């Protein structure tokens, strides 16, 4: 049996990547809409309802409009926008989130792909919250640096325009109103009282990211928890997860003391490493913002929803 797949928004960064990942898979038939027909509602509606599974790679409002066009009750949808990430009628697409989440995704017809920053933060904090190391009441500080592909076609064009050569060399913080669009899903999924104090930035590289969460030891149940204990919690929580790698030897992991944001590129892997001093602990998630942070996560969810091998088309 061939599954019919339609990528609505196939000309954007995430859509192009999904198409690239799926194009050689023999068990799938990709339905394609032409550039000139993509705004024709009737033509798009036909594709949306003909597909076994639809990827929505669109702005929020457009995603909601496409969902409203689907009348085929058998069509499954994976939305890569932020439109449905806090909607209880949609399943949050981190299969590793809880022991039951993979089954929830498998049985769902509506799944939302997490944000890239959100994926790194949530997967770092969920095991600590579940083990009462971090309280949902804690105020957590987080900083993230991502490749410029996270900003979509406009930012990619700006960085790669020869006229801008030498213009974007430094790390560039953004969302300085401290209300980044991934914060609602982070707060919702983790059940936090306060959204994290979060500052993202763009680096002068195309893809890859580091999500860095800063924790004060004295605030964890007033006890001096160690890096070794935290690593043990992560190893147990993610013990059967093929796309999650817990780093124990941090010296070998680093490159002369530096951590490269790009070493998970073109994989669906997330790596979690932990660093400490007497008073503080730093948890870093490394992932590909276009992989586990976007298109890779979308394909992983598709595999689960269609009952296929979860690893198909994905690199660990």
Give the pLDDT confidence of 107-149 residue by residue, as tens digits. Answer: 999 999 999 999 999 999 999 999 999 999 999 999 999 999 9
- For residues 33-60, average pLDDT: 92
Output the pTM of the full model.
Answer: 0.96
Q: How confident is the model at residue 159 (pLDDT cuts 50, 70, 90)?
A: very high
Q: pLDDT of 193-223, one tens digit each?
A: 999 999 999 999 999 999 999 999 887 655 6
Look up the CATH architecture of domain 116-290.
Answer: 2-Layer Sandwich (3.30)
Active-site option among 57, 112, 116, 264 = 116
Break the chain into its structural domains and give their ranges: 3-114+294-305, 116-290
Q: pLDDT of 261-299, one tens digit each?
A: 999 999 999 999 999 999 999 999 999 999 999 999 999
Better pLDDT: 191 or 1:
191
Q: pLDDT of 73-89, one tens digit each?
A: 999 999 999 999 999 99
198: CB partners within 8 A, 6+ apart: 117, 121, 141, 142, 143, 144, 175, 178, 180, 182, 183, 186
Residue 224 clears pLDDT 80, i.e. is over it: no
CATH 3.30.390.50 fits 3-114+294-305, yes or no: no
Residue 142 falls in the annotated catalytic set: no
CB 280 within 8 A of CB 266: no
CB 78 within 8 A of CB 56: yes
pLDDT of amino acid 34 = 85
Strand order from edge to edge, sheet including 3-8:
28-31, 3-8, 53-56, 76-79, 110-112, 91-92
pLDDT of amino acid 223 = 65
Cα first-last separation, the chain: 26
What value does the mean pLDDT of the chain take?
Answer: 95
Selection from 128, 138, 301, 121 nearest residue 213 by Cα = 121
């Amino acid at each position: 049996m061939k599954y019919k797949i339609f990528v609505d928004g196939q000309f954007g960064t995430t859509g192009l990547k999904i198409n690239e990942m799926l194009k050689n898979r023999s068990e799938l038939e990709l339905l394609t809409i032409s550039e000139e027909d993509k705004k024709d509602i009737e033509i798009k509606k036909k594709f949306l309802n003909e597909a076994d599974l639809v990827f929505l790679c669109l702005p929020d409002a457009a995603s909601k409009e496409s969902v409203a066009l689907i009348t085929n009750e058998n069509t499954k949808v994976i939305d890569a926008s932020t439109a449905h990430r806090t909607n209880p009628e949609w399943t949050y697409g981190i299969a590793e989130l809880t022991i039951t989440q993979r089954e929830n995704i498998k049985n769902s017809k509506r799944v939302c792909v997490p944000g890239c920053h959100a994926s790194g933060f949530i997967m770092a904090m969920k095991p600590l919250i579940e083990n009462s190391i971090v309280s949902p009441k804690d105020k957590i500080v987080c900083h993230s640096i991502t490749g410029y592909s996270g900003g979509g076609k406009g930012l990619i064009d700006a960085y790669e325009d020869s006229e801008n050569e030498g213009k974007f060399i430094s790390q560039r913080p953004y969302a300085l109103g401290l209300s980044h669009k991934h914060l609602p899903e982070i707060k919702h999924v983790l059940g936090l009282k306060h959204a994290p104090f979060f500052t993202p930035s763009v680096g002068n590289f195309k893809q890859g990211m580091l999500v860095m969460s800063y924790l004060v030891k004295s605030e964890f149940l007033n006890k001096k928890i160690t890096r070794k204990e935290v690593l043990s919690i992560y190893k147990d929580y993610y013990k059967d997860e093929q796309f999650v790698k817990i780093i124990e030897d941090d010296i070998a992991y680093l490159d002369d003391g530096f951590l490269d944001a790009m070493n998970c590129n073109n994989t669906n892997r997330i790596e979690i490493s932990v660093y400490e001093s007497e008073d503080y602990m730093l948890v870093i998630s490394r992932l590909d913002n276009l992989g586990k942070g976007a298109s890779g996560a979308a394909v992983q969810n598709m595999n689960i929803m269609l009952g296929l091998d979860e690893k198909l088309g994905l690199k660990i």
